Amino acid sequence: MSTASIRMPGSRRALIVVAAAAIAAAAGALYMSRPAANAAPAATPGAQEIVARGRIEPLGRVMAINGPADTPVTVVHKLLVDQGSKVKAGEVLALLDGYDVRSTDLAVQRDSLKLAEFQLAQVKAGAKSAEIAAQASTLTARQALLEQTQRQWERGTTLFRNGFVSKEALDTMVSNRDQARSGVAQAEDVLKSLTEVRKADENVALAQVKVARAAVARAEAALERLIVRAPVSGTVLSIQTRTGEAITADGILRMADLSQLIVVAEIDESQAGRIANGGAAKIEGSMLPQPVQAKVSRIAHEVFRQKRPASDILIGRDARIVEVELTPQTPLPFVVGGEVTVHLAPKG
């Protein structure tokens, strides 16, 4: 049979070619839609690491050092440290306004105590003519103290009316004045009874010593309130109020113990349950030459609102967060408050 005898018409051959192409395309689509036997399952959200913003903090946190809370306006009399100063616990950081007056008052009270002790020794040794002169001096000292406390009370009354002195401070001035009056009366009685040698004389002298010692203790406490001391050993980070300036809400200075730095991660409350103590973490930041490995050392038991500006890590201001402390395995730079990015591994 010749080749020409089996040749199909052109239109029929074209139809067959189109049909074959359609069948091949359908088969390919079916094959591609079939799940691959070795394909890896998609990662679930629970297996992803937690990314949060963090900041470098001292382990004991930063302390804001302030003055007495019951004084409306307090002025720094003398600042004794500067930014970067290393201080020991109990070291004097600043003296507040009124320190000189209180220091003088303490010296007066100590002298009065010595005088009362001398008088007690004289009474025990027996009545002598010299005792009269000593008691007269005691009376003079008590009268001078009464005048001083009277002036302080009058000045305090004026300041209280103008709102510069608290009611507690005014009550203390009244107590000081009344105590001084009592001391004067006591000294007068003793002076009158010097001609008699009695057991009562010794008791009076003992009482005078007790009163004088109480006055010294009160003066020491009043002076101590005007001395600002370091609560812990550490470094002065910044000065908020200098000599001659009034203390504001920011306090006098900020200090911290920089011997151990940590990172405080600010975790969204919805992610807090995925973190466990001892979990691994990685710390990154522009101030770090390379990532720092760390472990979760503490998870706070309180949720509060974020007050720092927004970033691309957290929702930002007013986000509800939980603070998580991280202990780094290598030292961190001494940049308190420096912002870093924290990657935390979720608990298994």
Q: What is the mean pLDDT of residues 87-96?
A: 96
pLDDT at 348 over 90: no
Residues 242 and 264 in one domain: no
Question: Are residues 70 and 170 in contact, defined by beta-carbon separation less than 8 angstroms?
Answer: no
315 or 286, which is more confident: 286
Question: Are residues 191 and 184 in contact, defined by beta-carbon separation less than 8 angstroms?
Answer: no
> Smallest Cα–Cα separation from 91: which of 99, 82, 81, 83?
81
Q: What is the mean pLDDT of residues 238-255?
A: 94
Asked which of 126-130, 185-189, 262-266 is least confident by mean pLDDT, the reply is 126-130
Residues 188 and 205 in one domain: yes
Residue 273: HSE in the Cβ half-sphere, 13 Å Cα cutoff: 2
Residues 241 and 280 in one domain: no
Residues 103 and 194 in one domain: yes
Domain of 75, CATH number, reads 2.40.50.100
Give tens-digit pLDDT for 210-228. 999 999 999 999 999 999 9
Tell me if 45 is assigned to some domain. Answer: no
Pairing of the two strands 339-344 and 50-58: antiparallel
Tell me if 109 is assigned to some domain. Answer: yes
Indicate the helix (H) or strand (E) that contains 205: helix 199-224
Per the structure, the count of domains in the chain is 4
Tell me if 37 is assigned to some domain. Answer: no
Residues 193 and 212 in one domain: yes
Residues 161 and 268 in one domain: no
Tell me if 40 is assigned to some domain. Answer: no
Residues 107 and 210 in one domain: yes
pLDDT band at 55 (very low <50, low <70, confident <90, very high): very high
Tell me if 36 is assigned to some domain. Answer: no
Domain of 330, CATH number, reads 2.40.30.170
Residues 121 and 169 in one domain: yes
pLDDT band at 10 (very low <50, low <70, confident <90, very high): very low
Tell me if 287 is assigned to some domain. Answer: yes
Phi, psi of 300 (to 5 degrees): -65, 150
Residues 106 and 219 in one domain: yes
Last residue within a domain, chosen from 182, 206, 223 = 223
Which domain range does residue 7 map to?
A: 3-30
Give the 3-state secondary structure of residue 82. coil
Residues forming beta bridges with residue 340, ordered by sequence position: 54
Indicate the helix (H) or strand (E) that contains 176: helix 167-192
Q: What is the mean pLDDT of residues 182-192?
A: 83
Residues 169 and 214 in one domain: yes
Which residues have C-beta within 8 Å of that of residue 253, sequence separation ≥ 6?
Answer: 64, 65, 81, 93, 94, 236, 237, 238, 239, 240, 241
> Smallest Cα–Cα separation from 276: which of 304, 298, 301, 305?
298
Residues 89 and 169 in one domain: no
Burial status of residue 169 (CB atoms within 10 A of its CB: 0-12, 13-18, 19 or more)? middle
Q: What is the mean pLDDT of the chain?
A: 81
Residues 307 and 231 in one domain: no
Asked which of 58-67, 193-202, 310-319 is least confident by mean pLDDT, the reply is 310-319
